[in-house]
Amino acid sequence: MMDLLIPDKTHDESRQGEALMLEQADNKYNGRKLYIESYGCAMNFSDSEIVASILLNKGFETTTDYNNADVVFINTCSIRENAEQRVRNRLKEFTVAKVKNPGMIVGVLGCMAERLKSKFLEEEKLVDVVVGPDAYRDLPNLIDQVDDGARAVNVLLSREETYADINPVRLNSNGINAFVSIMRGCDNMCSFCVVPFTRGRERSRDPQSIINECQSLFDQGYREVTLLGQNVDSYKWKPTVEGDSISTDEIKGTNFAQLLEMVALISPELRVRFSTSHPKDITDEVLYTIAKYDNICNYIHLPVQSGNSRVLELMNRTYDRDWYMDRVNAIRRIIPECAISTDVIAGFCTETEEEHQETLSMMDFVRYDYAYMFMYSERPGTLAAKRFADDIPDTVKNRRLNEIVNKQRQHSHERLQAQVGKVKRVLIEGFSKKSTNDYCGRSDQNAMVVFPVTENYKPGQYVNVLVERCTTATLIGKVV
Ligand code: SF4
């Protein structure tokens, strides 16, 4: 899970399709300004683009300054307690703006809205609207209710909603990389996780709508799409059968490997990434598809969570240590150059010292390129909160987390050092953070690469970069 705050910015002016939609928009909301801020995982950032699309179609404009906004939305994450605390702190700041501008509507979207429902309105008196992840189509109606003096809530979860027909407005876009949501929800019920409760049951989006969206992005100049889902490996779409005019292929439907291939075939110049994989579901068919197409990036995010089989069972991850190692071996065999990243939880309920050591030894076995590492944080309503005591003292969790972080630092550095002397194909994303004399972009394996600007190339183009050295997080080289 990403833990980023990305302030919104006005949508890309080059997008003529959106301009056209704005002309056709409903006059009622014309000129009202929307500010939207997103927390948490990539799905939330992608959802904010759907929310913006729904409201821009109604005549709203976006603004980057919440002080000037008529509607301020915060798209929230519930994955850990500190993520929720950050949202509450941010709401306090919006409160100050609302005192100056009493007409401002403040809304909470996403997982925290779904988890707390109308309780949110009791807890946070200045919040006007609470909307869960499956109810964004209802936003104009909910805004109307607030305009009429009410406070509004819609947290209904759906078994069908995929927003397949909504063309997201690309917020905060560099015009090169875009997220494309391919499914919603999760059926896995990992015992530590709130997602099944906040995002509902798993459902896959019609592949043709995904291909159309990716093709349209490519036509607009985007060169990388990341296909998003909580568990992309269980993507499965079947058409609704009406009558008997359906072919055998259609009846079988589309799985994730087939979808990956369909997206890869749009153009060899369009890079394809995906996230997140589940170790129990990632198939050799997916791995062979990645190996077959140069434009499907050699990078897999494969959350391990723990290296110990008993803890994995308590987490309800439905795989054990041996199964996970077998999947890693399959990745190494079929895609030898593949980078692997992971999520790790330190100090899950009842985890012993020996079991923690097994997590460290799993890290030694895989040698992850990158990891998102956290102390276990009990979330209300989850299976773990109901069944197990959160019994590992914070000092112990902290020490175990530090051991995990230190090991990962060493592995990340080693993995980068192994790239020195190699030539990597890099998609230029823009200037490096430190200097306009350097470009930055990502390698196929998702490593950040920095190299001097050369006149012949610009962002959105691919270059071959000879890696000359590395820091702890970046490869540095020159175009060859
Ligand atoms: S796979 Fe597990 S951790 Fe991931 S979203 Fe689903 S329940 Fe949560």
Q: pLDDT per residue over 277-298, tens digit each? A: 999 999 999 999 999 999 999 9
CB distance 379 to ligand 1 below 6 Å = no
CB distance 196 to ligand 1 below 6 Å = yes
CA of 247 to the centre of ligand 1 (A): 34
Residue 240 has pLDDT above 80, yes or no: no
| Residues 6 or more apart whose Cβ sits within 8 Å of residue 99 | none
Question: Which of 43, 186, 319 maximizes ligand 1 atoms within 8 Å of its Cβ, making it the mutation to test the pocket?
Answer: 186
Tens-place pLDDT, residues 187-239: 999 999 999 999 999 999 999 999 999 999 999 999 999 999 999 999 999 87
What is the DSSP track for 415-464? HHHTTTT-EEEEEEEEE-SS-TTEEEEEETT--EEEEE--TT--TT-EEE
CB distance 190 to ligand 1 below 6 Å = yes
CB distance 278 to ligand 1 below 6 Å = yes
Any idea what DSSP says for residue 11? P
Residue 1 has pLDDT above 80, yes or no: no
Q: pTM here? A: 0.90
Tens-place pLDDT, residues 127-141: 999 999 999 999 999
Instruction: Return phi, psi of residue 114, to 5°.
Output: -70, -40
pLDDT at 249: 61
Closest to 424 measured CA to CA, from 450, 455, 463:
463
Closest to 2 measured CA to CA, from 424, 343, 422:
343
Task: List 428's β-bridge partners, or say none.
Answer: 441
Cα separation, 127 vs 294, in Å, equals 48
Beta strand 177-181 with 224-228 is: parallel
ω into 95 cis (within 30 of 0)? no
Residue 19 has pLDDT above 70, yes or no: no
When pLDDT is averaged across residues 251-278 and rounded to a whole number, the result is 95
When pLDDT is averaged across residues 388-399 and rounded to a whole number, the result is 98
Tens-place pLDDT, residues 46-104: 999 999 999 999 999 999 999 999 999 999 999 888 889 999 999 999 988 988 898 99
What is the DSSP track for 324-345? HHHHHHHHHHH-TT-EEEEEEE
CA of 39 to the centre of ligand 1 (A): 17
> Which SS3 state, helix, strand or coil, does residue 360 take?
helix
Task: List 439's β-bridge partners, or say none.
Answer: 431, 451
pLDDT at 6: 30
pLDDT at 7: 30
CA of 355 to the centre of ligand 1 (A): 21
> Which SS3 state, helix, strand or coil, does residue 243 take?
coil
CB distance 173 to ligand 1 below 6 Å = no
Distance (Å) of CA 9 to CA 6, 49, 173, 240: 9, 11, 8, 39
Question: Which of 111, 181, 184, 190 maximizes ligand 1 atoms within 8 Å of its Cβ, making it the mutation to test the pocket?
Answer: 190
pLDDT at 331: 98
Beta strand 6-7 with 224-228 is: unpaired
When pLDDT is averaged across residues 432-447 and rounded to a whole number, the result is 95
Q: How far is CA 207 from the centre of its chain?
A: 19
